[in-house]
Structure 1
Amino acid sequence: MKDDLDLSTRNRIMQMLKTAGQLTTKDLTDQLGITGMAVRRHISILERDNLIESTTVRIPMGRPAAVYRLTDQADDYFPKNYHSVALDLLTELEVEAGETMVNHLFDLRKATLMQRYESKMVNKDLENRVAALSEIQNENGYMATWEKTGDSDYILTEYNCPISRVANKYNHACTCELNLFESLLEAKVSRSDCLAKGDNKCVYRIRPQQDR
């Protein structure tokens, strides 16, 4: 229960800084109705997690005080609606230029990602390329894991898809991801499960090209 209360208090501090821009410890203490020691404890944790930062300012008729504000990283803490914006823009593009143009946009994204990540695959065997791809996908929020299932077969599993709502409407996004994996891994890749199609994960089977 105490952990929940602590988390709730830190959530309130984040919300207060989001709306006010910046606040001192005294501001936070007054608004939260808790002790200054408790506020400083929460501030210490938020600073440790790189969610808030401070600068020292001079206060009229008083000693300099620390003023706290949210970090750039803290922006990810607040709800976003990117998928709706992306879907609206893609729908507008489809109306204006047709589905072919939307698919071309996903093809361009695939080419960009290939260029961005191909250097991470240089001089690696298939197993290390699979590991590198899993790391890349984790950095992008896909919650990926991988395992070896045979002498030269691998399974890559993604438990989250940041673009699932977009891919649900525009299936070419999934096709491009599959093609990207084949190009990066220089292997044969097939998908058995897909989040965008209602499954609870995306599952890719990876085999050397000669095992086609």
Structure 2
Amino acid sequence: MSMPQNISSRQHQILEQLRENRNGLSIDELAKLLQISRTAVQQQFVALESEGYIKKHTLTKTAGRPLTLYAITDKGINCFPKQYAWFSELILSDLQEEISPERFKGYMQRLAGKLAKNLKGRFAGKKLDERIDELSKIMTDLGFQIKTAGESGDDKEIIQANNCIYHDLAQKHQEICEFDLTFMSSLLDREVEQLSCMAKGDCNCKFRIKK
């Protein structure tokens, strides 16, 4: 995972400094650390604060006027790259050794069902096309690059993901694909058929919604 595209290299530097100084830094301190003007720091702060990457708090000094410090938020910390794949692989491999392939597949389906249950409220009372739109938004938020298309005269019958957010894991544990199928079918209230799979060498992951 890389830095979000809306964060410039200068803003990245500011977040790095604030991550290293968790108690916060003043504008003057950041300007000195980065060797840029105070005005330049303030300009970057406007965007960072509006996006929720940083927050400010005021410290009362024993002498003189209160000092305003800026600190990085959890959202700001989450912008930095993370590597969870090795830990997920460790858990999945251990689980797969403990149970049979069918039980492992069933586990993925149950896991997807639990997640879908938590999101059901966003789909209540919506028509199928609206459900597909909502599902596309959720999958996009999860990191998928989604587009929908129609077949046989239908406006939306195909959901295509041009990336797989757990590609390496799915190559080793293809039962993970059952998670996607169960998740999608639960939220759409329709059977979903997988037409292609990147973990199996296809150029995308494509799903057909049966009506």
- Same fold by TM-score greater than 0.5: yes
Show the 5 A alignment for 1:44-55.
Answer: 44-55=46-57
SS in 2 for 1:124: coil
Distance across 2 between alignment mates of 1:183 and 1:11: 39
The match for 1:162 is 165
In the alignment, is residue 144 of structure 1 matched against residue 146 of structure 2?
A: yes
Amino acid paired to 2:40: A
Asked whether the 8 Å contact 2:113–2:186 carries over to 1, the reply is no
CA distance in structure 2 between the aligned counterparts of 1:161 and 1:50, rounded to whole angstroms: 28
Structure 1 or 2: larger helix share? 1
Q: What's 1:112 paired with?
A: 114
Report SS of the residue matched to 2:58.
strand
| TM-score between both structures, scaled by the size of structure 1 | 0.83
Aligned match of 1:74: 76
Letter in 2 for 1:17: L
CA distance, structure 1, for counterparts of residue 202 and residue 67 of structure 2: 53
Q: What is the rounded CA distance, in whole Å, between the counterparts of 1:150 and 1:113 in structure 2?
A: 31
The verdict on how the C-alpha distance between 1:197 and 1:38 changes in structure 2, with shifts beyond 3 A counting, is same
2:65 partner SS: coil
CA shift at 1:15, angstroms?
A: 0.7
Q: Secondary structure at the match of 1:145?
A: strand
- AA aligned to 2:147 is T
Judging changes above 3 Å, is the alpha-carbon distance between structure 1 residues 116 and 38 closer, same or farther for their aligned structure 2 residues? same
In 2, Cα distance between the equivalents of 1:188 and 1:93? 27
Decide whether the 8 Å contact of 2:19 with 2:77 is kept in 1: no
Deviation at residue 151 of structure 1 after TM alignment: 3.6
Once residues 155 and 51 of structure 1 are traced to their aligned partners in structure 2, the CA distance between those partners, rounded to angstroms, is 36
For residues 83-122 of structure 1, the aligned pairs below 5 Å read: 83-97=85-99, 99-122=101-124
Count of paired positions:
203
Match of 1:19 in 2: 20
Distance in 2 of aligned mates of 1:114 and 1:159: 22
Q: Helix, strand or coil: the match of 1:203?
A: strand
CA offset at residue 99 of structure 1?
4.3
RMSD: 2.3
Percent identical residues: 26
**In the alignment, residue 184 of structure 2 is paired with which amino acid?**
F
**Which amino acid counterpart does residue 14 of structure 2 have in structure 1?**
I
Deviation at 1:190, TM superposition (A): 2.1
Contact 1:93 1:101 in 2 (8 A): no
Distance in 2 between residues matched to 1:188 and 1:99, nearest whole Å? 22
What are structure 2's unaligned runs of at least 5 residues? 1-6
Contact 2:109 2:178 (8 Å CA) reproduced? no
Structure 1: segments with no counterpart, 5+ residues: 1-5
Q: Aligned partners of 1:78 and 1:147: how far apart in 2?
A: 34
SS at match of 1:46: helix
Question: What is the distance in 1 between the residues matched to 2:128 and 2:40?
Answer: 52
What letter matches 2:96 in structure 1?
Answer: E
Higher relative contact order (CA 8 A, sep 6+): 2
- For residues 209 and 168 of structure 2, the distance between their equivalents in structure 1, rounded to whole angstroms, comes to 25
**SS at 2:81's partner residue?**
coil
